[in-house]
Amino acid sequence: MRTPLIKILPLLLAVIFSGFSCADPWVPDLGNGYYKNPILFADYSDPDIIKVGSDFYMVASSFNAMPGIPVLHSRDLINWEIINHVYPRLPFEKHDRHAHGLGSWAPSINYHKGTFYVYFCTPDLGLFVATTQNPAGKWTLTHITDVELWEDPDVIWDDDGQAYLVRGKVRADILYLHKLSADGKKLLDDGQIIYKDLQNQPVIEGPKFLKHNGYYYIFAPAGGVTTGWQAVLRSKSIYGPYEAKTVMHQGDTDINGPHQGGMVELDSGEWWFMHFQDRGVYGRITHLQPMRWINDWPVIGEDKNGDGIGEPVSSWKKPDIGKTFPIKTPQTSDEFNTKKLGLQWQWHANPKAEWYSLNRAHKNHLRLYSIQNLTQAGNLRFAPNLLLQKFPAPAFSANAQVTFHPEGEKDRAGLVVMGKTWAYLAFFKKEAEVRLGLFEGTYDQYDDVTRKINSVSWQANAQNEYSATLKVEIVEGGNSQFSYSRDGITFTAIGEPFQATAGIWIGAKVGLFSLNSSIHKSSGYLDVDCFRVE
């Protein structure tokens, strides 16, 4: 007897979509003891990792985004979640406004005598360290020195307790070594050059220290972000001389410029290396590679040719930690029903309390106020109060249920895809009428280049509010189609797909904004019921 199709259709659909979760657009854990790369299809640039006990911690660059330097946690190196940020803001006035491309570059994370240390430089303000005993708790930020063009610091405490800091210099292709105080918070000398080889290892940067089997190792990417490779330097003396070897390159894979990251040794004896790949609009996404030692040199990835140079793997057996942990991915969706913003959110500059209210002015809602942005036509280049998060997958959708409360004629609020160019679907007021419009804009140092693509009239409800569900669907490559719904069910596309672009040193982001481009202050605002990523 044949079973009617209508009875088996739900089973077929369940099989087809097994393992697929609307809340998790990219899941690297394959559920069968293997994983796929990238382990984070999001812009966790310049990653560094450590192992403390049975826990793994990761940090990444934030540049101008606040709060800065996300701290991620994992129990197996595959399943990660955001647990904190190293600092809520940078204590400098310039970061109260837009500071594209500045802020924290290439942090390193270390653990010494019960304290976690995160070192980082900004290209214009110098060297910093943040310390804590609990990476999910409060960090203390120390400005070690005010200097320009330092980058990518890392620290090692030698066997005699002496601390050393290795770092690069912006666009100089040189590595320097400094002595540090025992607490890691004070430079003890002016430093000296320990490595420079423009012919064989150009654009060397992002150094990471390791002492292993009697050698000092410096893992340092070279050759440039998009086309480079992973080099390793080694010496019996911390001051050198260092010999260099390329230990991973693109080879025959499609993983361009595989380099810059950190390494960990497991209790099982396995070694693993985390690095990034520049994917343009998506930023610098994160891969995990097996690592092994041959003749006191590391080989990262799979050495297919037997030449001691590995190539990135696309899939591999999961790290041997002796246990299996639940699937986790970094946070994306937010119901705004807590007292703090989700850790996935970052502002485009130092945040201010007057920018928003969460679960106070309107219970279980985020309220974004119409903050003055004194440029014409709502140009977002200069807006610090953009609330954004990383693209979390090659293809996904994001939607927000919003209610607009306009006051001034130049109030504008809605859903945005942000990079060097941007597009947003926003409510705005034109004379006595409220409309919903699609706008596109671009950076220009001499002009406000923001243009309206299309708009539709919008009617208020009985409470004189303007409500809608705003949506953007991103397909692989970054094409972004905006749409809207009046009932939360049926969506209408508006305009043509917008090609998202990367920002300055960062990938494109998606999120929310509310601003007023007039010299007259506004009491308008946007209420957001939820933000959902699928």
Length of the chain, in residues: 534
Q: Given the DSSP bridges, would you call strands 411-418 and 271-278 parallel, antiparallel or unpaired?
A: unpaired
Active site residue 205: yes
Token readout for 463 is 């409470």
Amino acid identity for residue 338 in this structure: T
Has 46 been annotated as catalytic?
A: yes
Catalytically annotated residue among 205, 334, 411, 473: 205
The tokens of 377 are what? Answer: 């036509």
Spatial contact of 456 and 425, defined as CB atoms under 8 Å apart = no
Cα torsion angle, 19, 23, 28, 33, sign = negative
Q: Tell me whether strands 466-474 and 396-405 are parallel, antiparallel or unpaired.
A: antiparallel
Handedness of CA 197, 200, 202, 206 (dihedral sign): negative
Tokens read off for 247? 């230990």
Token pair 């990251």: residue: 261
Q: Among positive and negative, which fits the CA dihedral 124, 125, 126, 132?
A: negative
* Token pair 């020195």: residue: 145
Catalytic residue among 24, 29, 43, 46: 46
Token pair for residue 469? 């569900």
C-alpha angle 257/117/79, rounded to 5°? 55
Q: Active-site residues: which are they?
A: 46, 205
